[in-house]
Structure 1
């Protein structure tokens, strides 16, 4: 992974937290930079960005105070996703993270080629969201 790709990953992570880029924009920038996906681990507080050759960069995610709930509630995760997709009043990525963690989401994996996001709980229960076409 080159320095420019690492910088792009850092920029996209920061932009998600400060609200200067939305999910579709972040996906487009990361794809253009050669990434195939990324993963967020709420329990470790990290985001990992992957290249197709297996190389990756792990970055510290901005922490939120909400712990990951023990029980996974797919409906809670889905509600948070719908709020993000509609850019609901008061939406922020920080608020999204808090909502999905309260719904038992321990992390999620984004696959650009698979055009989906897999949200998973502490017991490996999951909820899959497909990218819109």
Structure 2
């Protein structure tokens, strides 16, 4: 992966974890970098970015100091998602809220325009990108 692509991804991650940009801006910048999808793993504190040619970039993910809930609460997760979509919830708070809802991570399918969220027992919630 070339340095320019890595730089765009790393700068986007930094702006997101600091709460300076919202989800739509994250997606726009990652599209510019050529990212096809990414996997955020709350338990491993990692995000892996995937390019269409198979190249990947693994970036550390700073997580709040809380225990991820044992039970997956899709309604609480959807509330956090809706807050994010309205621009009221930025990524630092989203990580906390989604962890409290039992989310252990998610995959953003940029090309497929949806996000798959996961719980500890294989539960999933699929959220389509808003139009």
Residue 102 (structure 2) aligned to one of 101, 104, 112:
104
Report the secondary structure of 1:106's partner residue: strand
Is the 2:63–2:95 contact (alpha carbons within 8 Å) kept by the matching residues of 1? no
1:130 maps to 2:119: no
Rounded to whole Å, the distance in 2 between the matches of 1:122 and 1:100 is 13
Moved over 2 A (4+): none
Rounded to whole Å, the distance in 2 between the matches of 1:31 and 1:87 is 20
Q: Could you tell me which runs of 5 or more consecutive residues in structure 1 were left unpaired when the two chains were aligned.
A: none
Q: TM-score, normalised by structure 2?
A: 0.95
Give 1:21 shift.
Answer: 1.6
1:14 maps to 2:14: yes
Rounded to whole Å, the distance in 2 between the matches of 1:66 and 1:77 is 16
2:82 corresponding residue in structure 1: 82
Matching of residues 1-133 of structure 1 within 5 Å: 1-88=1-88, 91-133=89-131
Rounded to whole Å, the distance in 2 between the matches of 1:64 and 1:127 is 22
Rounded to whole Å, the distance in 1 between the matches of 2:32 and 2:10 is 15
Rounded to whole Å, the distance in 2 between the matches of 1:68 and 1:21 is 24
CA deviations 1:56-115 (Å, max 9, x no partner) are 010001121122111111111101001111122xx3311110110011100010011110
Rounded to whole Å, the distance in 1 between the matches of 2:25 and 2:90 is 15
Q: Could you tell me which runs of 5 or more consecutive residues in structure 2 were left unpaired when the two chains were aligned.
A: none
Q: TM-score, normalised by structure 1?
A: 0.94
CA deviations 1:13-67 (Å, max 9, x no partner) are 1111112221111111111111101111000001111101111010001121122
Aligned residues: 131
